[in-house]
């Protein structure tokens, strides 16, 4: 008998664009998707290339369409699943980003982008972000 807790209900967005970068000492990943109020919505995920040892500076930074919708250090988990990215935020992070605490990003419209996103997240995890789980995807 499996006693694992069921996955929480998550809001799902389909990624239609993906941008990645490694410059100015930063690793970044931008997911482009359509949301209810924003047909050209984005989620930027950013971290430093080299840890500083200062928790506030080393935390994952997330931002949507403006710095008014941003947070740092509020990611509980960012998991690469078999066909999507599953993001779990603290209540503070969800409020700051105006996203549900449990959000999934699928790649149905652009499946080729999934491997690129997983690979870049693996680089971020290797820098020391334990909240990122790649489950063997890289």
Among 8, 2, 6, which residue's Cα sits nearest to residue 103?
8
Predicted pLDDT of residue 100: 95
Answer yes or no: are the C-beta atoms of 122 and 138 closer than 8 Å. yes
Residue 128 maps to a domain: yes
pLDDT tens digits along 30-77: 999 999 889 999 999 999 999 888 888 889 999 999 999 999 999 999
Residue 1 maps to a domain: no
- pTM of structure: 0.90
Residue 80 maps to a domain: yes
Q: How far apart are CA 72 and CA 108, in angstroms?
A: 28
Answer yes or no: are the C-beta atoms of 125 and 137 closer than 8 Å. no
pLDDT tens digits along 98-138: 999 999 999 999 999 999 999 999 999 999 888 999 876 65
Residue 29 maps to a domain: yes
Q: Which domain holds residue 29?
A: 11-133
Number of domains observed in the structure of the chain: 1
């Amino acid at each position: 008998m499996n006693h694992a807790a069921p996955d929480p209900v998550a809001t799902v967005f389909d990624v239609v664009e993906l941008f990645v970068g490694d410059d100015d000492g930063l690793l970044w990943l931008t997911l482009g998707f359509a949301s209810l109020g924003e047909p050209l919505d984005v989620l930027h995920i950013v971290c430093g290339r080299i840890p500083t040892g200062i928790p506030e500076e080393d935390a994952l930074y997330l931002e949507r369409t403006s710095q008014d919708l941003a947070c740092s250090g509020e990611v509980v988990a960012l998991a690469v699943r078999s066909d999507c990215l599953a993001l779990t935020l603290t209540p503070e992070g969800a409020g700051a980003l105006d996203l549900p605490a449990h959000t999934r990003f699928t790649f149905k419209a652009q499946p080729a982008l999934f491997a690129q996103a997983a690979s870049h997240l693996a680089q971020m995890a290797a820098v020391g972000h334990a909240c990122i789980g790649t489950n063997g995807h890289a």
